[in-house]
Amino acid sequence: MMENGPFALCRAFFYYLCIMHRRTIAIVGAGAAGCFAAQRIQELCADVEVVLFEAQDRPLKKVAITGGGRCNLTNSFQMVNNLRDVYPRGHQLMKRLMYSWNQWDTMSWFEEHGVRLVTQEDECVFPQSQRAMEIVGVLRDGLDIRCGCRTRLEDLQDFDAIVVTTGGARDFSWLEQSGVEIISPVPSLFPFRLEPTGLEQLSGALVENSVASLGGTKFRADGITLITHNGLSGPCILRLSSYAARYLAEQSYRAPLVMNWLGDTTEAEAIELLYAMSSGNGQKLVCNTHLSQLTSRHWEFLLSRAGIGHDMRWSGVGRKQMNRLASVLTSDMYQITGRVPHKEEFVTAGGVSLHSVDSNTLECKTRPGLYFAGEVLDVDGVTGGFNLQAAWTMADTVARAVANRFNE
């Protein structure tokens, strides 16, 4: 039954006032940070309208391909002793912000939204379905996303708050023009192209426990190394590229690379190991008694690097050759000649300077009501779900800040 009279007019006028005073928020960039910020803002704020503007033809493109299409959405951090090890830039900010939203909050949120999760032995967290599109579906559910829209800050003056989550863009001039300090972005997380040595003939071989470092620097990483048709990749190399992202850019991606194929084993320890291998095996061919952590082909390649022929027996290996082999095993030298485009190289070092934002709210210091979240800030992580965790954490920080601003 339709209500008439003065009470109906009052109700209509009150409803009109509510609409007229409804808060509006613009989010520029519909990636992981942007969509999660929108979800959290809608959960924390009553009567808000959130509009996401995405330049691409569809949202969450990078989320859909991360983790090989399985979406490594976070990490348990159980093997992380220091955030500096997984966030080469921005670790102090992440330490502060993760007191409010950490990996456990992330896992709880997705599980509450119907996503069953599984934690692998390497502590990486994936949806049990192993489908990134499940994560995409949850993140974009119920959002007003307008694709194919390239916006500038001056186009969004009518909104009550603006959140920029454009990722590691190459062009930040539109933000610089608004007085935002920008750290020049450079690629991070990429494989190395090496000067040919014959190593490339072992393409596909894995070394489970290796250490890679850049000669003459303190940059060092450990983990699995993958030999490729033109160089090296794998978690160990990608981490090293992340740690040394700016240094390598300054060197035009040319630098000496030192590989310890035996992990943290020292040269002295390697000599002892080799003498132990030779003991009682004097008449055996050296190439037939390879170390368990190396494939037989890799072992033979390293023997040739040490000047030990395939027909040489242990009894014929002299002290100098033994020392040379130990040196090759623990400090094998290669020359990086470039970086190789990588499917996960959408991670960049650089972006909005952390000095430009409030470390508690991620609000721009020079422009109230303007917030930043995700990789647009000078924060980046290594592989393993750490970059997405940074996106969730920063998005929640901004959502809380916006909610507090509107609820005051």
pLDDT reported for residue 343: 52
Of how many residues is the chain composed?
A: 408
Q: Would you state the structure tokens that stand for residue 63, as one six-digit string? A: 């989320």
Closest CA to 402 of 2, 43, 16: 43
Question: Taking the model in full, what pTM does it have?
Answer: 0.88
Give a three-class secondary structure readout of 173-202.
Answer: HHHHCCCCCEEEEEECCCCEEECCCCHHHH
Closest CA to 373 of 128, 162, 149, 130: 162
pLDDT reported for residue 21: 60
pLDDT reported for residue 280: 85
What is the DSSP track for 107-143? HHHHHHTT--EEE-TTSEEEETT--HHHHHHHHHTT-
Q: Residue 369 and residue 406: Cα distance in Å, rounded?
A: 11
Closest CA to 135 of 160, 116, 108: 116
Q: Is 77:123 a contact under the CB 8 Å cutoff? A: yes
CB environment 320-350: b (16+ within 10 A), e (fewer): ebbebbbbbbbbbebebbbbbebebbbbbbb
pLDDT reported for residue 7: 46
pLDDT, mean of each 10-residue run, the chain (408 residues):
46 43 91 98 93 96 91 97 97 98 98 98 97 98 96 92 89 87 93 97 96 98 97 96 97 98 97 93 91 93 95 94 97 97 70 97 96 97 96 98 90
What's 353's DSSP letter? -
Give the phi and the psi of residue 21 in degrees, each rounded to 5. Answer: -105, 10
Q: Is 175:352 a contact under the CB 8 Å cutoff? A: yes
Show the domains of the chain with their CATH numbers: 23-187+344-407 (3.50.50.60), 191-341 (no CATH)
Q: Would you state the structure tokens that stand for residue 377, as one six-digit string? A: 């800030």
Q: Residue 263 and residue 221: Cα distance in Å, rounded?
A: 10
Tell the burial category of 378 from Cβ atoms under 10 Å away from its Cβ (0-12, 13-18, 19+): buried
Q: Residue 407 and residue 123: Cα distance in Å, rounded?
A: 38
pLDDT reported for residue 19: 47
pLDDT reported for residue 347: 83
- Letter for the amino acid at 102? N
Q: Residue 224 and residue 233: Cα distance in Å, rounded?
A: 9
Closest CA to 38 of 374, 376, 384: 374
Largest CA distance in the chain: 109
Closest CA to 308 of 278, 283, 286, 277: 286
pLDDT reported for residue 364: 96
